[in-house]
Amino acid sequence: METETMKKGRVSTGIYGLDELINEGFRENTINIVRGGTGVGKTTFALQYSLFGLNRDEKVLYVSFEMSQEQIIRDSRDIGWKDIEYHIEKGNLKVIHLFGEDLTFPSLDIAEMVRKTMPDKDMRIVIDPLTYPTFYSEKEKRKSLSTIFQDLRTLGTAVIVLEEPADGNHVNEGSAMPLYLADTVIHLQNLGFGEMYDRTLRIMKHRGSKHGEGLYPYSIENGLGIVIHTSEKQVERIRPKNKFDDKFVEAIEKTKHMGISGERLSARMESLRKNWTSDEDPSQILKLVIKEETRGYGKKT
């Protein structure tokens, strides 16, 4: 169910302070990986994401390779989310408890289980965490993951896949999860010093959208879950700026004599205008683009 404030084509994460860092949420029908070491709050992230949708009459399917339904209810109560049990009883939240070795062909089994358990479309899907039998080769994992992700994109409004890196907190491109297959990758880290803002969040990838590129401290608060601590200045850096709209209008006007090529170029410039977050005047860039795009225009080949 879409709220009045929710941006069309976006699914809110439910994580306090995150949506404004990723252009108002995950894109619909995408794979979004949350990764990090033990104790950083990956499951809290997953439950918080689920609860946000459930409280707005959305359907959620939670595939867990570690916790049973009873454990999920217990952990949710510990955080202060007693309404998880209500959503399970109502049928809006379905929990599947699996073991990696139970899946003979994960690429087929997971998608089929999702379809049979909750045939609804445009739901939230959580896999916590995605694991594979040890006898699978890296090549087999990549091929299977690609198939799983393609199938899940057709079933969910947004998909969060949680992965536990083999090397703990550190980002390692050689880990079991090939990050290029995902649409969004969020890394949670615990620095281990015991300070107030010991935990940090980094948005490693957010395909097709502007996003914050810093390290953002976060805390896990009872009753709320994950809260990202950002300053107004940090958020302002990634907000589109409209003070240069006249520069874009002027540049787009110069493309009108170029026929169909000009129409395509003006559409690209319009996209740039909507996503311009810099405080720098875009005139120089626009001038360069027009110069390059009009080079040789009208000449016969």
Domain 10-236 -> CATH class: alpha beta
Rounded CA gap, 25 and 12, in Å?
A: 4
Q: What is the pLDDT of residues 67-102, one digit of tens each?
A: 999 999 999 999 999 999 999 999 999 999 887 555
- With bands split at pLDDT 50, 70 and 90, how would you rate the model's confidence at 37? confident
Here the contacts of 71-75 (C-beta below 8 Å, separation 24 or greater) are 72/47, 75/43, 75/47
Confidence (pLDDT) at 62? 95
Question: Which value, to the nearest 10 degrees, does the dihedral of the CA atoms of residues 71, 106, 9, 2 take?
Answer: -40
pTM, to two decimals: 0.79
- What is the residue extent of each domain of the chain? 10-236, 245-293
- Which runs of E-coded beta strand occur in 91-174? 93-97, 123-128, 156-163
Q: What share of the chain in percent tops pLDDT 90?
A: 41
